[in-house]
Structure 1
Amino acid sequence: MKELTKAEEEIMQVLWQLESAFVKEVIAELPEPKPAYNTVSTIVRILEQKGFVGHESHGKSYKYHPLITKSAYTKTFMKGFVSKYFSGSYQQMVSFFTKEDNLSINELEQLLDELKQQKP
């Protein structure tokens, strides 16, 4: 799975939230200043070429939907991130963020408990 650019990720965040949308609906969810219709349309078509997005025809318009779940992308992205910046060590990553955010042991344990409860 390819890594998304910042603009592509912004569009995917909206599509993950809406589950399916026309380009104008995607634009409505984006922050100000709103990008041009053609810009968003181009990015959506690139996402489709990359295999992240599919579409359904509605007359002359297309309604787009994600083909990749947010959790699947997050998992792949995080593996690459940890590999690239922390030599593949999740322990190093947690240690780094614990120091950077001044997390106490209790806060870290609470986060770990929450993660354990979320795990299927």
Structure 2
Amino acid sequence: MKRLTRKEEELMQALWKLEQAFVKDLIELLPEPKPHYNTVSTVIRRLESEPYGFVTHEDFGGTHRYLPKISKEAYQRQFLGDSMTAYFDNSYKNMVAFFAREKKITPEELKDILKAIEKGE
């Protein structure tokens, strides 16, 4: 699976949230300054093409309604897996320790994670 750029990911986040959308709907969810319609249209078509394959569409006369072809969860798994391999020696322990050292996770959150692991969630 291809890694998305920041702009592509922003667009996919909007599409995952809406579940299906026309370009104008996606633009509404994007942060200011809003990109031009043609820019969003070009990026979404690129996300539909190979080697991406992240998006599909339905025809509505002269316009398209776009739908995600890959789930947010599937992308998260791939993205986190690649990051773990590249930055944390393929170790969840190293990854969690990094966030703890950077104070990005609290002791209470770590306890909640341990409880979830013990429960098999």
TM-score, with structure 2 as normaliser: 0.90
Determine helix, strand or coil for the equivalent of 1:20: coil
Q: RMSD of the alignment, in Å?
A: 1.8
1:34 and 1:75 map into 2 onto residues whose CA distance is 29
Determine helix, strand or coil for the equivalent of 2:81: helix
**1:75-97 deviation digits (Å, cap 9, x = unpaired):** 00000001011111111111111
Aligned to 1:60: 62
Counterpart code for 1:37 = Y
Indicate the percent of aligned positions where both proteins have the same amino acid.
49
Say whether 1:90 aligns with 2:92.
yes
2:17 and 2:104 map into 1 onto residues whose CA distance is 31
Aligned to 2:80: 78
* Structure 2 residues not aligned, in runs of 5+: none
2:28 and 2:104 map into 1 onto residues whose CA distance is 37
Change (3 A) 1:105 1:29: closer
Change (3 A) 1:112 1:42: farther
Say whether 1:46 aligns with 2:46.
yes
Change (3 A) 1:43 1:104: closer
1:28 and 1:84 map into 2 onto residues whose CA distance is 35
2:14 and 2:120 map into 1 onto residues whose CA distance is 23
2:35 and 2:2 map into 1 onto residues whose CA distance is 24
After the TM superposition, which parts of structure 1 deviate over 2 Å for at least 4 consecutive aligned residues?
A: 102-107, 111-119
Aligned to 2:17: 17
* Structure 1 residues not aligned, in runs of 5+: none
Determine helix, strand or coil for the equivalent of 2:4: coil
2:56 and 2:72 map into 1 onto residues whose CA distance is 15
TM-score, with structure 1 as normaliser: 0.91
Determine helix, strand or coil for the equivalent of 2:21: coil
